[in-house]
Amino acid sequence: MKALIKIGGSLLDDVSSRHDLARQIAAISRGIHVTVVHGGGKQMTRFLEERGVKSTFVRGLRVTTDETIDAVLKVLAGSVNTQLAAALGAAGARAVGLTGIDSGVAVADQLDPELGYVGRVTASDPGLLATLTEAGYLPVVACVAGGADGQVYNVNGDSMAVAVASAWKADRLVFLTDVPGVLDASKTILPLLTIEACRKLIADGIATGGMQAKLEAAMNAVTHGVSEVRIVRGSDPDIVGRVFNGELVGTRIVQ
């Protein structure tokens, strides 16, 4: 089995949370091929604020200027990526810190001039991930992509995870989030969703904002060959092990 796990940056900001997730991921990686994609928006906002730079968001995406892209490299590709790789290493995994720029794991172009250096992934070469995972390594990929012209782009974590999982032909894509799953109108977790059901939740205005974006990412993934997507709360006890041991936790999205 090949699994891609996407971790939101807020789950990595706390040291104990980071080490707990690393322990869980290292444990399952002994039996399957795992790649991790991570965000770091919270850490980046803090880094910029400390330097007197206010973050601006348009449609939920951070406007990325020359100054911001420097922070993306220092924080996302630097400290957040390295700290997670170190935590995984301490837990016994052979973690390798990467960005999408490495060996074309994610190639992007500009999403919208209004957003500056925010990229949309247009291609993903899974060769490096295949080489590493087949040799027993665990790739840890920061959401930074390279353009065909050499430009560096900040990429939304969910869309990066989908593009990489699809190209790598992952069997499962797991989103570790801050919510327990997809909720219906009465705030009850929906254990199983098809693409049709996801579209209805969005059309009915039940899934909005961040959850709408997650569902759109999930639909994109299963449309492009990922067998299933799971949305779970990353802070729940032993959540990674429970997902991979077959427990019906969170929301499972299939074709």
pLDDT in tens, 71-123: 999 999 999 999 999 999 999 999 999 999 999 999 999 999 999 999 999 99
Provide the CA 1 distance to its chain's centre, in angstroms.
19
Strand partners, 118: 154
Structure tokens at 211: 């959850």
Cα atoms in the Cβ-side hemisphere of radius 13 Å centred on 95: 25
Which positions are annotated as active-site residues? 6, 9, 41, 158, 214
pLDDT at 255: 86
pLDDT of residue 59: 82
- At 212 the pLDDT is 87
pTM for the whole thing? 0.95
Separation CA 182–CA 50 (nearest Å): 35
Decide: 232 and 174 in contact? Cβ < 8 Å.
yes
* Consecutive H or E run containing 217: helix 209-223
Ranges under pLDDT 50 in the chain: none
Domains of the chain, first to last: 1-170 (3.40.1160.10), 178-255 (no CATH)
Provide the pLDDT for residue 254: 94
Q: Identify the DSSP state of 60.
A: T
Q: What is the pLDDT of residue 111?
A: 95
Q: Which residues have CB under 8 Å from 127's CB, separation 6+?
A: 103, 104
